[in-house]
Amino acid sequence: MPKIVINMRLDKKILQKAKKILHLKENTATVETALRNIINNREVVKLFKKTSGKSAWKGFKKSL
């Protein structure tokens, strides 16, 4: 996938915290992973909204 060069001013504490949470060392990898996570989260929300109410939950079956 082609990459672009971009300058960003990021809050150092936020970047360091994200790197720690994601277990990453590089700033670029951290930002890319965070962006992918945002995209994935949005797609999951769309899927939930699309399928919401489509099936009925019968509850848990009681075991003997």
pTM of the model: 0.72
**pLDDT given at position 40:** 96
- CA 59, chain centre distance (Å): 30
- Point out the least confidently predicted range of 1-10, 41-50, 54-63: 54-63
Q: What are phi and psi of 10, to 5 degrees?
A: -115, 145
Q: Is 40 helix (H, G, I), strand (E, B) or coil?
A: helix
| 6: helix, strand or coil | coil
Locus of tokens 């939930």 = 48
pLDDT at residue 63, as a whole number: 67
pLDDT single digits (tens) 12-36: 999 999 999 999 999 999 999 999 9
Exposed (0-12), middle (13-18) or buried (19+): which is 9, by Cβ within 10 Å?
exposed
